[in-house]
Structure 1
């Protein structure tokens, strides 16, 4: 549930099947102390209908005759409900309302109408060069797609002026397919379309003025909706580390652990030798070579030095040695 610390008591959530969607922090717009805006990511699924739930409860206290809400979907103002202070007082400081979509007239001034619900839809992209002709307009449209924004404003006393009848086909003007360049590498996956209409009834239309101007809302709630895959690519949702399957073989220890010296397994004499060697290293003395191994050590040094000689001289020496050691045939046959 998105809330703003500086205006406690006002909350907004996006719902699917009347259940609030999980929210994730938006690091591009971190919530700062005293800020009047909050931004969250939510996961969207194609063809799922959604609604916006507005709620007010204590400790919020209205300091204006009317509180206005502006619901923007993909950059288009779709609903503008008003809440009068008298209505909030009748509810004991509690008020809640769910907005599923846009209501359209069936003709005339009757209260009957049709409600077309908000529905998540997949953004279709193309690499067709023919789409480049509308690239500029597509970029402008895609810049606002993927966001649901609710602004809260203080307004004057509201007056009823009739039925709230919508005439424009909002959200139907967005292109069904855009060139992939219109997304500019952004991880946007979904937009919003209007679903099939169902029977509903118009509410009363109220009008009032803005107390602080339309450009000065007291609160802004922003929801960026993306597919689960897009949220993972943005690292908003982190993939869990793969867990080891039950009953699987335990991973073999690191080589350093395999070769580690187990002091406890040594005999007392071996432990004393290790302790003596450690003391010599600390004192800077050269390790003592056992007498039985001094000769072998000298032999190894001699062999090493011999190998470091000139390779050409070494070859000549080996040839000379072979000649000297060659077998000589002596003819003992008498004449």
Structure 2
């Protein structure tokens, strides 16, 4: 969970399948006193939920929570001060919109980027701006005043996800995913509010989401070590299946040994044939060149070149 030392009693989490995702600190980010930046793992096709918890320490003012997904600032939630008399736990599952009198929700979902080689013609100002904020969920908490109900609400709009990304546009950045909106589904009635902002956000939480492989490339999490060969591991540490595999490996080597010896004998016979091929030609000049065999650890072989 993302927690700020300057704001005890306030935390934000990204939830998948009912569980908060593990977070890894961004060591390169400028961790300001009111900003927390972490990395999380994105799994393709997984729905995710933003959950924030606010304790009674913040009950002196009305507050708003602005949720930005890949730079899209279309998600705002307002809470009156009396709601904060007890600890408030609120979840945001997706983007709410209105069509006529009906309210719809489109759930947040991780989607893998389609990265292609070439196609530099696709790189334009719009794409560069979109990529600048791609791969991040940001939650901003700030104080507000003069809460008032309004009739309207945000109208439905199509998902603005990126279709194809040229690899050169990423400039070596290990971005792997984007957030997309799910199929619109009918939602229960909600109240739409407007308000006045008192000051700048007093808490900002950034979640950079990447694939597991991308997190390893960025060295956010350790790379998976190469497995130790069975032959180099203690026998007592091997399970039954590993012991069977070890026996099969040895049997395979034993079976292959006669074949290797036969091939080696054939090579020697060929060398003898070359040396004895033209013994009757006394007028030929014979040049012997010393050549060290790479496959042999010691000794040398004579390469015979016949010159007419």
Which residue in 2 is equivalent to 1:77? 73
Q: Deviations along 1:59-84, whole A, 9 cap, x unmatched? A: x23332x1011100001113100010
Q: Relative to 1, partners in 2 of residues 1:245 and 1:84: Cα closer, same or farther, differing over 3 Å? A: farther
Q: Deviations along 1:160-191, whole A, 9 cap, x unmatched? A: 2235x221526x22331122221111000000
Rg (Cα) greater in structure:
1
Q: Distance in 2 between matches of 1:134 and 1:235?
A: 28
Matching residue within 204, 210, 218 for 1:226: 210
Matching residue within 66, 83, 86 for 1:87: 83
Which residue in 1 is equivalent to 2:126? 137
Q: Distance in 1 between matches of 2:140 and 2:27?
A: 20
Q: Deviations along 1:208-261, whole A, 9 cap, x unmatched? A: 10112xxx210100000000000000010103545758896459xxxxxxxxxx
Q: Distance in 2 between matches of 1:168 and 1:128?
A: 34
Which residue in 1 is equivalent to 2:255? none
Which residue in 2 is equivalent to 1:37? 35
User: Is 1:117 aligned to residue 107 of structure 2?
Assistant: yes
Q: Relative to 1, partners in 2 of residues 1:249 and 1:181: Cα closer, same or farther, differing over 3 Å? A: closer
SS at match of 1:225: strand
Contact 1:84 / 1:157 at 8 angstroms: preserved in 2?
no
List alignment gaps of at least 5 residues for structure 1. Answer: 252-335
Matches within 5 A, 1:1-335: 1-29=1-29, 31=31, 35-58=33-56, 60-64=57-61, 66-89=62-85, 93-105=86-98, 107-108=99-100, 110=101, 112-129=102-119, 131-162=120-151, 165-169=153-157, 172-212=159-199, 216-241=200-225, 249-250=233-234
Q: TM-score, normalised by structure 1?
A: 0.65
Q: Distance in 2 between matches of 1:188 and 1:104?
A: 29
SS at match of 1:50: strand
How far apart are residue 29 of structure 1 and its match? 1.9
Q: Relative to 1, partners in 2 of residues 1:246 and 1:56: Cα closer, same or farther, differing over 3 Å? A: farther
Contact 2:174 / 2:214 at 8 angstroms: preserved in 1?
yes
Q: Distance in 2 between matches of 1:136 and 1:179?
A: 13
